[in-house]
Amino acid sequence: MTATKAPSEPRSQRAVRRPGDRIFAGSAKASGIFILLVLAGVAAFLVSEAVPALTAPAEDVPGGEGLGAYVAPLVLGTLLGAVLALLVATPLAVGIALYTTYYAPRRVATGMGYVIDLLAAIPSVVYGFWGLAVLAPALVPLHVWAADTLGFLPFFAGPASTSGRTMLTVGLVLAVMILPIISAISREVFSQAPALHREAALALGATRWEMIRMAVLPYGKSGVIGGAMLGLGRALGETMAVAIVLSGGAGATLNLISSSNPSTIASNIALRFPEATGLGINTLIASGLVLFVITLAVNMLARWIVNRRADFSGAN
Listed in sequence order, the DSSP H helices in the chain are: 11-14, 19-55, 67-98, 106-118, 124-130, 136-149, 167-191, 195-203, 208-211, 217-236, 240-245, 265-272, 279-310
Predicted TM-score of the model (pTM): 0.83
Residue in 232, 239, 233 with CA at minimum distance from that of residue 74: 239
The amino acid at residue 298 is V
Alpha carbons within 13 angstroms on the beta-carbon side of residue 249 total: 7
Instruction: Give the contacts of 292 (CB within 8 A, at least 6 positions apart).
Output: 42, 43, 46
Which of the four CATH numbers 1.10.3720.10, 1.10.275.10, 1.10.730.10, 2.60.120.10 does domain 73-311 have? Answer: 1.10.3720.10
Burial 4-13 (b: 16+ CB within 10 A, else e): eeeeeeeeee
Which of the 8 DSSP states describes residue 73? H
Residue 308: phi, psi to the nearest 5?
Answer: -70, -40
Instruction: Give the contacts of 316 (CB within 8 A, at least 6 positions apart).
Output: 310
pLDDT in tens, the chain (316 residues): 455 555 555 554 555 678 778 888 888 989 999 999 998 999 899 898 888 888 888 787 887 788 888 888 888 888 999 999 999 999 999 999 999 888 888 888 888 888 888 888 888 899 999 999 999 899 989 988 988 888 888 888 878 888 888 888 999 999 999 999 999 888 888 888 888 888 888 888 888 888 888 888 888 888 888 888 888 888 888 888 888 888 766 677 888 888 888 888 888 888 888 887 888 888 889 988 999 999 888 888 877 877 775 554 444 4
